């Protein structure tokens, strides 16, 4: 399949611009394959992050045609023969060079929450390909979170509030508070019940749309809002 890759280019000290590279990838290929062809066939100075190539590491997140994607699992056939793929770095994070962003906003936020989730089983999809426990028909599983940062990139609030905790950390907090396992819940409540925390979310659900693993951080934030509001009302009534 022949495609054009229109890629955001930025090197420190120079003005950002786009370069377009014609590439050829197998019909079964993914967008990451197209980016790698542009790198290998045209310009080895293109910088981009990637590692596992199968949506396990979460390091390759970027924008394809202005939408947050993991290019390693985004099929090129979704765009069609001869399409131009516009590739940009993730939003709301400083660009180091080309498609590589400074990903520290992702990890700093998880650090703040206390890195509460330890995944001891591989990611699961509720698509029927793996057996589920009796009585469980479908599920949302925060442990599926790859920490890819696509939700932070998609969130419109992140565009104006650099201190906003963001969907990933708030969803992690919701998961941790649902099952604290000895965690300092009071510290978490203080962190999220803040002008840069829970209440800054304006429910656009772009995070949920962007999440490649159906973690649904938007719904987790809504559950957290209910939990914190109920707690406040209870305290107000002297409970």
Helical H segments across 88-216, by residue range: 104-113, 150-154, 166-178, 185-192, 206-210
- Residues with Cβ within 8 Å of residue 168, at least 6 apart in sequence: 106, 109, 110, 145, 147, 149, 151, 152, 207, 217
Q: Which is nearer to other proteins, 37 or 158 (CB)?
A: 158
For other proteins, the binding residue among 73, 83, 96, 117 (CB under 8 A) is 96
Please report, as residue ranges, which positions from 177 to 206 form the binding site for other proteins (by CB under 8 A): 202-206
Q: What does the angle CA 176 – CA 181 – CA 185 come to, to the nearest 5 degrees?
A: 55
Q: What string marks each residue from 34 to 63 as x (binds other proteins by CB under 8 A) or -?
A: -----------------------------x
Instruction: Check if the beta carbon of residue 144 is closer than 8 Å to that of residue 56.
Output: no
- In the complex, least distance from residue 155 CB atom to other proteins, rounded to whole angstroms: 10
CA distances for 166 relative to 89, 201, 231, angstroms: 18, 8, 21
Considering the rule CB under 8 A, would residue 144 count as an interface residue with other proteins?
A: no
**Helix, strand, coil tally for the chain in percent (to 5):** 35, 15, 50
Q: Which is nearer to other proteins, 53 or 196 (CB)?
A: 196
For other proteins, the binding residue among 78, 102, 184, 195 (CB under 8 A) is 102
Choose the stretch contacting other proteins; rule: CB under 8 A; options: 75-83, 113-121, 157-165, 187-195.
Answer: 157-165
Considering the rule CB under 8 A, would residue 84 count as an interface residue with other proteins?
A: no
DSSP state of 90: P
- What residues line the site for other proteins (CB under 8 A)? 10, 12, 16, 63, 65-68, 91-97, 101-102, 156, 159-162, 202-206, 208-209, 218-219, 222-223, 225-226, 229
């Amino acid at each position: 399949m022949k495609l054009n890759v229109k890629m955001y280019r930025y090197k420190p000290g120079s003005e950002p611009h786009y370069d377009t590279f014609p590439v050829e990838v197998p019909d079964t290929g993914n967008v990451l394959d197209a980016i790698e062809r542009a790198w290998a066939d045209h310009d080895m100075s293109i910088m981009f992050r990637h590692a596992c190539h199968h949506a396990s590491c979460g390091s390759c997140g970027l924008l394809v045609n202005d939408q947050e994607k993991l290019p390693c699992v985004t099929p090129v056939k979704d765009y069609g023969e001869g399409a131009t793929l516009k590739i940009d770095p993730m939003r709301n994070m400083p660009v180091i060079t080309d498609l590589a962003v400074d990903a520290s906003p992702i990890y700093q936020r998880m650090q703040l929450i206390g890195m509460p989730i330890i995944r001891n089983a591989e990611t699961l999809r509720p698509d029927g390909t793996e057996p589920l426990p009796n009585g469980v028909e479908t599920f949302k599983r925060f442990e599926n979170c790859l920490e890819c940062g696509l939700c932070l990139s998609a969130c419109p609030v992140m565009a104006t509030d650099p201190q906003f905790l963001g969907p990933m950390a708030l969803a992690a907090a919701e998961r941790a508070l649902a099952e604290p396992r000895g965690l300092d819940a009071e510290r978490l409540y203080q962190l999220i019940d803040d002008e840069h925390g829970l209440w800054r979310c304006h429910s656009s659900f772009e995070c949920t749309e962007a999440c490649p693993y159906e973690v649904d951080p938007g719904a987790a934030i809504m559950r957290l809002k209910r939990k914190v509001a109920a707690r406040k009302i209870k305290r107000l009534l002297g409970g």
